[in-house]
C-alpha cells in the first residue's frame, strides 16, 4: 500500500506569512494528488487536484506543485480564514490521506 | 448541483449493528466512485473503502476489511456503510465523498454522520 507522509504536523504562522506544507508518497503517484482544507466540525474542502490544478472558487494564494513522490502546498499570504488543518491525498486506484498539518496562529 | 446527503447521527451500544447512508443527487450516480472516510475524535482522515455503484466493485482499506461492508443501490442513488457488530472504537464521524470524473479526486462531500458507541 502507498503511504502518504506530510510535514510538518503543526505549523505556527502569522497573517501575511508564506506557508509551505510538504507531502511525500512512498511510491510514484505521478500527479494523482489532492490537497484539502478542513475546519472544525466541517467536511473537508478540495483546494487542489492533479497536484497543481486550483479547484474552482479557491483563492489564488493557494498553489500546489510536484509530481512522482514529492509535493508541496503553498499559501503565499496567509489570511485569517486559512487557519485550519490541511491534508494531502493520493486518489488513483484507492484513496490515502496524509496525517494532516494544523496551521495555527503564531 | 451535486449533493451528497447523509443519514443522521446515531447512538448505539457495543455489539449492535448499524447501516448509515449517503444519498446522491445532481449527477449520474452509477458512474462515479464513492468513498467512505472515517474521522475519529481529534484525528485525521482515513479512507475505509470505495465503491463503483454501476457494478458494485468495492475496494477496502486493509485496516477496515472484514469489519465493515460498503454497498450501493443505484436504483435509489444511495451508498451505504454498515457494521454487524459495533465496537466502542467505531465512534467517529463518517463522511461519504464522490470522486469526480475529470481526474479531480473527491471534490464533493456529504455533511458527515456522527456515530457514538457507548454502553
| CA of B86 vs chain A CAs: smallest distance (Å) | 23
Q: Is A1 on the interface with B (CB under 8 A)?
A: yes
> Residue A6 to residues A42, A49, A64, A88, B10: CA-CA distances in angstroms?
21, 16, 14, 7, 32
Taking a C-beta distance cutoff of 8 angstroms, is the pair A101, A12 a contact?
no
Quote the percentage of chain B above a pLDDT of 90. Answer: 96
User: Number of A:B CB contacts under 8 A?
Assistant: 62
> Residue A14 to residues A81, A101, A104, B3, B9: CA-CA distances in angstroms?
12, 16, 8, 35, 37
Q: Is residue A13 predicted with pLDDT exceeding 80?
A: yes
Q: What is the pLDDT of residues A20-54, one digit of tens each?
A: 999 999 999 999 999 999 999 999 999 999 999 99
Taking a C-beta distance cutoff of 8 angstroms, is the pair B25, B118 a contact?
no
The alpha carbon of residue B41 and the mean position of all alpha carbons in its chain are separated, in whole angstroms, by 17
> Residue B15 to residues A62, B71, B117: CA-CA distances in angstroms?
45, 21, 9
Quote the pLDDT of residue B102: 77
Selected residues 18-57 of chain B with any CB under 8 Å from a CB in chain A: 35, 37, 44-47, 50
Cross-chain Cβ contact B95/A87 below 8 Å = no
Q: How confident is the model at residue B103 (pLDDT cuts 50, 70, 90)?
A: confident
Average pLDDT on A86-103 reads 96
Cross-chain Cβ contact B95/A44 below 8 Å = yes
For residue A100, give the H/E element and its range: none
Q: Is B73 on the interface with A (CB under 8 A)?
A: no
Give dist(CA B13, CA B119) in Å, integer: 5
DSSP state of A50: T
Cross-chain Cβ contact B106/A94 below 8 Å = no
- Cell 500527479 locates to A31
Give dist(CA A6, CA B45) in Å, integer: 13
Cross-chain Cβ contact B44/A99 below 8 Å = yes
Which residue would you say has higher pLDDT here, B11 or A105? B11
Q: Is B101 on the interface with A (CB under 8 A)?
A: no
Using an 8 Å CB-CB cutoff, list chain B residues near A47: none
Diameter over CA atoms, chain B: 45
Quote the pLDDT of residue B101: 82
Compute the C-alpha angle B6/B104/B7, nearest 5°: 0
Q: How confident is the model at residue B104 (pLDDT cuts 50, 70, 90)?
A: confident
- Which residue of B35, B99, B109 is in closest CB contact with A43? B109
Q: 3-class DSSP state for residue B64?
A: coil
| Residue in chain A lying closest to B94 (CA) | A43
> Residue A92 to residues A61, A69, B85, B101: CA-CA distances in angstroms?
26, 13, 31, 12
Q: What is the pLDDT of residues A76-86, one digit of tens each?
A: 999 999 999 99
**CA-based nearest residue to B34, from B108, B85, B99, B82:** B99
As a whole number, the mean pLDDT across chain B is 97
Taking a C-beta distance cutoff of 8 angstroms, is the pair B45, B36 a contact?
no
Amino acid at each position: 500500500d502507498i503511504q502518504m507522509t506530510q510535514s510538518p504536523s503543526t505549523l505556527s504562522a502569522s497573517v501575511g506569512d508564506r506557508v509551505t506544507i510538504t507531502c511525500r508518497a512512498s511510491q510514484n503517484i505521478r500527479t494523482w494528488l489532492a490537497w484539502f482544507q478542513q475546519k472544525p466540525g466541517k467536511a473537508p474542502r478540495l483546494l487542489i487536484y492533479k497536484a497543481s490544478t486550483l479547484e474552482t472558487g479557491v483563492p489564488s494564494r493557494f498553489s500546489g506543485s510536484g509530481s512522482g513522490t514529492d509535493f508541496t502546498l503553498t499559501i503565499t499570504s496567509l489570511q485569517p480564514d486559512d487557519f485550519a488543518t490541511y491534508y494531502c491525498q493520493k486518489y488513483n486506484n484507492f484513496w490515502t490521506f496524509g496525517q494532516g498539518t494544523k496551521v495555527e496562529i503564531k | 448541483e451535486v449533493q451528497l446527503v447523509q443519514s443522521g447521527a446515531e447512538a448505539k451500544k457495543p455489539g449492535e449493528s448499524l447501516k448509515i447512508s449517503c444519498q446522491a443527487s445532481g449527477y449520474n450516480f452509477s458512474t462515479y466512485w464513492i468513498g467512505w472516510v472515517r474521522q475519529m475524535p481529534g484525528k485525521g482522515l482515513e479512507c475505509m473503502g470505495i465503491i463503483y455503484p454501476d457494478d458494485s466493485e468495492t475496494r477496502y482499506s486493509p485496516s477496515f476489511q472484514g469489519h465493515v461492508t460498503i454497498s450501493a443501490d443505484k436504483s435509489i442513488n444511495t451508498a451505504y456503510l454498515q457494521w454487524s457488530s459495533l465496537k466502542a472504537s467505531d465512534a467517529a464521524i463518517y463522511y461519504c465523498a464522490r470522486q469526480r470524473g475529470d481526474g479531480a479526486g473527491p471534490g464533493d462531500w456529504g455533511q458527515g454522520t456522527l456515530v457514538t458507541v457507548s454502553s
